[in-house]
Structure 1
Amino acid sequence: MNLSIIIPLFNEEESLPELSEWITRVVEANNLTYEVIMVDDGSTDNSWQVVEHIAAKNQYFKGIRFQRNYGKSAALNEGFLAAQGDVVITMDADLQDSPDEIPALYNMIAEDGYDLVSGWKKKRYDNALTKNLPSKVYNGVSRKISGIPLHDFNCGLKSYRKKVVKSIEVYGEMHRYIPVIAKWAGFKKIGEKVVEHRPRKYGVTKFGWERFLNGFLDLTTITFVSRFSKRPMHFFGMYGTLFFFIGSVIFVYLIIAKIVDVDFALTNRPSFYIALVAMILGMQLFLTGFLAEMISRNSSERNNYLVEDKIGLR
């Protein structure tokens, strides 16, 4: 199978018939064998009934329905598990992502050899103050921390090589950082394509201001887990040693000053308490790293690695 298209949705009953017809026209015009997996994230309207109707008319459309709302990351993860296509494309269900972008995104994976291609909605129709400005700040910080030169990390329109989606796990609200997760899993060829952003035709947006705060917290989590999950002592031990060293140096200085000048009021100095706090914090960080290292060494996944290829071995 050439292509799997995964569409997470929540209360999008109005847009689904038009979206399904549009996708069908595009993929059939390009002679692609395909499947479309619609993941209903606990909709409270008639979205699932619409999905059932679409699947009854077209055998290439499939559906997954959550019992309750788990979030976009959970919907994408279930779609990734079910996908069978050599190339996997994700897109939103609200018609703001154009299915006309599918052939180009497919070719960038199948022919140009990219592992992952992220859409960039260069011209947007969202509110400039409540969405565009925070989005620019959010993407700028994400680029700086991750080192991935993408302009739009949160664009729902992305394409993947099959091995990418089968090698990563998306949970919580980590869908914003799939390129980061893929990079830390060892997939280095990450590209970007300018895509059309269409005005919302039906319904209302499902995202609020809290997604930006959650996004930065998620990026911190991904960066830490990706770099230090198998060696937590390298993080906690390094900073623990640094704080303890700083505290010790200050403390030694104060002791010497006390020896030189017996009238030197040791405990009346702010530096005394700074040294004390630094040493205690250093010991706590070091012990945290030691305990995390013990837990990591007993993890069932401590020696799980992604292998690209083998020669002469099964």
Structure 2
Amino acid sequence: MQLSVIVTVYNERENIRPLVERINAALVGLDYEIIYVDDGSTDGTVAELRSLDDPRLVIVEFRKNYGQSLALMAGIDVARGTYIATMDGDLQNDPLDLPAMLQLLEAENWDLVVGERVNRQDGALLRKIPSRIANWIIRNLSGVHLRDYGCALKLFRSEIAKDMGIYGELHRFISVLASLEGARITQIPVRHHARQFGVSKYGLGRTFKVVSDLMLMLFFKKYLQKPMHLFAQSGMVLFVLGAIINLYLLALKIMGQDVWGRPILILGAVLILGGIQLITVGIIVEVLMRTYYESQDKRPYRIREVFRGELVTTPEPTESKVARSRMALPRQ
């Protein structure tokens, strides 16, 4: 199968039929499947999906609401296509952009093509401005330079999508996760429509989740394979500062001054203990990282391709090969 289109939905009953019709109209001539992952809807979304008579439709129904990240993971696990597309189920993404994205991915050998909503049909105060701030922060901290990280319309090579671990709320950082797998990433302008039915599931309440997940992404990006560099360096800084403070207090004590009860004494002790603790945590995390790779026979690197040049030699006569094989046979 050429393409799997994954749509994650939560209470989007009114948008089901129009989106399926648009996908079918946009992908005429392609071999594809439409995978709907229902994330515990309570408004009859599953019943609406089951009422559709479409042989390309695959329905994955969750027992309860697990979140968009795990819904995407389930859809990717079920997908059979060589390429995997993801999109929201609220009719704001346009399936007409998928053929152009697929053509770009195949023609220029990209691993991930991300949509950029150039004419975004959302409110400025609650959606556009926070999104621009988040995009600027993610772009500068992650090192993955895209203009729009929040567009759900994406197209992957299957092997890249299936190697990503989209746990927790990491669907917002799919491009960063793909970058960790060594993916070649590009972005293309796509259409964006205003929501017609239902209510948005996004809001300012996700800000703190985005910040915490960004910290996790930075750890994955820079220190996953060398956690000792993060914890030990911080621990050494604290330990050295604490040691300097304590040596200073020791010198005062030798000179006859009373150092007991000074706040700086408590600070020095706390810094030394904190430094020792961070260094210890670094050692433990280093051991866990090695256990993670070695227990599963994983490698901390990804090979895109191995090319071996073939040595051209003159073929030997058939008779000499047969004679040599006979000479190699053990005597009975």
TM-score (norm 2): 0.86
Task: Establish whether residue 283 from structure 1 lines up as the match of residue 276 from structure 2.
Answer: yes
Task: Establish whether residue 145 from structure 1 lines up as the match of residue 138 from structure 2.
Answer: no
Residue 11 of structure 2 aligns to which amino acid in structure 1? Answer: N
Residue 83 of structure 2 aligns to which amino acid in structure 1? Answer: V
Task: Establish whether residue 163 from structure 1 lines up as the match of residue 159 from structure 2.
Answer: yes
Residue 10 of structure 1 aligns to which amino acid in structure 2? Answer: Y
The aligned runs of 1:80-159 (5 Å cut-off) are: 80-159=76-155
SS at match of 2:14: coil
Residue 247 of structure 1 aligns to which amino acid in structure 2? Answer: G
C-alpha separation in 1, matches of 2:141 and 2:199: 31
Residue 249 of structure 1 aligns to which amino acid in structure 2? Answer: I
Post-superposition Cα deviations, 1:173-229, rounded to whole Å, max 9, x if no partner, equal 100001111111222x21111211101010000123221210111111122134333
C-alpha separation in 1, matches of 2:250 and 2:164: 53
- 8 Å contact from structure 1 (residues 232, 293) kept in 2: yes
Range 135-144 or range 268-277, more displaced? 268-277
The aligned runs of 1:26-105 (5 Å cut-off) are: 26-28=26-28, 31-54=29-52, 57-105=53-101
C-alpha separation in 1, matches of 2:2 and 2:289: 39
C-alpha separation in 2, matches of 1:137 and 1:226: 21
Alignment correspondent of 1:13: 13
Residue 32 of structure 1 aligns to which amino acid in structure 2? Answer: L
C-alpha separation in 1, matches of 2:178 and 2:71: 18
TM-score (norm 1): 0.91
**% identical equivalent positions:** 34
Task: Establish whether residue 195 from structure 1 lines up as the match of residue 190 from structure 2.
Answer: yes
Task: Establish whether residue 232 from structure 1 lines up as the match of residue 245 from structure 2.
Answer: no
Please tell me whether Structure 1 or Structure 2 has the larger radius of gyration of its CA atoms.
2
Alignment correspondent of 1:175: 171
C-alpha separation in 1, matches of 2:187 and 2:108: 12
Q: CA deviation at 1:60?
A: 1.3
Q: CA deviation at 1:264?
A: 3.6
Task: Establish whether residue 266 from structure 1 lines up as the match of residue 264 from structure 2.
Answer: no
Q: CA deviation at 1:295?
A: 2.9
C-alpha separation in 1, matches of 2:93 and 2:273: 53
SS at match of 1:225: helix
- Number of residue pairs the alignment of both structures matches: 305
